[in-house]
Amino acid sequence: MTPIPDLPTPAALIDVPCMQHNIARMQQRMEALGVKFRPHVKTSKSLPVVQAQMAAGARGITVSTLKEAEQFFAAGIADILYAVAIAPAKLPQVLQLRRQGCDLKIITDSAAGARAIAGFCAEQGEALEAWIEIDVDGHRSGIPPEADALLEVGRILHEGGALLGGVMAHAGSSYAHDEPEALRAIAEQERSGTVRAAERLRLAGLPCPAVSVGSTPTALSAVDLHGVTEVRAGVYVFFDLVMHNVGVCAASDIALSVLTTVIGHQEEKGWAIVDAGWMAMSGDRGTKQQKHDFHYGQVCTETGEPVAGYVLAAANQEHGIVCREQGEVDREIATRFPLGTRLRILPNHACATAAQFPEYHAVLAGGEVQAWPRFYGW
């Protein structure tokens, strides 16, 4: 176990007590609202993180790739929702996991997708469980709750030999807001639209046992989840600067950071050059359209205290530029951050930054550091 001062940089650090606080906060909220919680593990893709979520009370997981499903099932987690519309070519992989005992659910949002699933089920003599994705806000994918296509897709699945397991929605538009009242309204829109879709299926004589909703902002803003059976959220486990700007966490709640080293200066420009570029931070500029643009990340000391007014303002592949965020030239930059200074950078998007690293360095309460691997691939 390598102590933080001896870690090679750049390195992805997890503040484990902070992460545990985030996990407990979400789990307690879901229990108070009376729903099952199914975390989205695409953020961490790491078994120790997910084991902490399960130990806190999570029931089942959400994945974004079948590789995640395979890895977590091999680790003993069987209740899995693959929350990306299934590509027909991946159905044999789904069937293989199901036959091994994995309770894997897939989703679709079209008649064509439903026909592919039903046809495969008939061909294989197996009933895959499929959920219908509902579009509650026009953000990305899904069928609107009142659309005729909802019942068409439900009938194709149910009558074609698949198991119609329920409906699910993701209110991704919540990321574009930062007022509590607006977030509560979007959470209610997500809830009511998904519950309405379930009601329409049931009124048509079709089964719909699961009603699944979720995003980190709506999960932390919902007041009432009547009619919902489970909630999904992912980035809450680490949080990030986008979520800070949305208003659902403080900077002190951000559990993921990138450890970096000052490797040079351009004093006349007020720049300190660090060894964390976009290959370490990712190219995600998710705060650019928000009220506070952190560029590529918030600068912190090696021990994690934010350095007010300093950001990772620009990034090349392996170089990052630390400077004043408003463009003022700090002529004392080399004195403030001497060569060899170690800094931490808080990320815009935890999922994207985490994906740049093969492992995390998990910092425990006593300062002990453990290496936690993460999964790759599709």
Domains along the sequence of the chain with CATH = 17-237 (3.20.20.10), 251-373 (2.40.37.20)
pLDDT in 10s for each residue of the chain, 378 residues: 788 989 999 999 999 999 999 999 999 999 999 999 999 999 999 999 999 999 999 999 999 999 999 999 999 999 999 999 999 999 999 999 999 999 999 999 999 999 999 999 999 999 999 999 999 999 899 999 999 999 999 999 999 999 999 999 999 999 999 999 999 999 999 999 999 999 999 999 999 999 999 999 999 999 999 999 999 999 999 999 999 999 999 999 999 999 999 999 999 999 999 999 999 999 999 999 999 999 999 999 999 999 999 999 999 999 999 999 988 999 999 999 999 999 999 999 999 999 999 999 999 999 999 999 999 899
Q: Which one-letter amino acid corresponds to residue 162?
A: A
Helices 148-159/180-203 angle, 10° precision: 50
Distance (Å, whole) CA 47 – CA 38: 15
**Strand ranges for the chain from DSSP E:** 11-15, 36-37, 61-63, 79-85, 103-108, 129-134, 163-169, 210-213, 230-231, 256-266, 271-274, 298-301, 306-315, 320-324, 342-346, 359-363, 369-373
Distance (Å, whole) CA 361 – CA 2: 9
Distance (Å, whole) CA 331 – CA 336: 9
Q: Is the peptide bond before 48 cis (omega within 30 degrees of 0)?
A: no
Q: Contact at 8 Å (CB) between 157 and 129?
A: no
Helices and strands in the chain, H and E counts = 12, 17
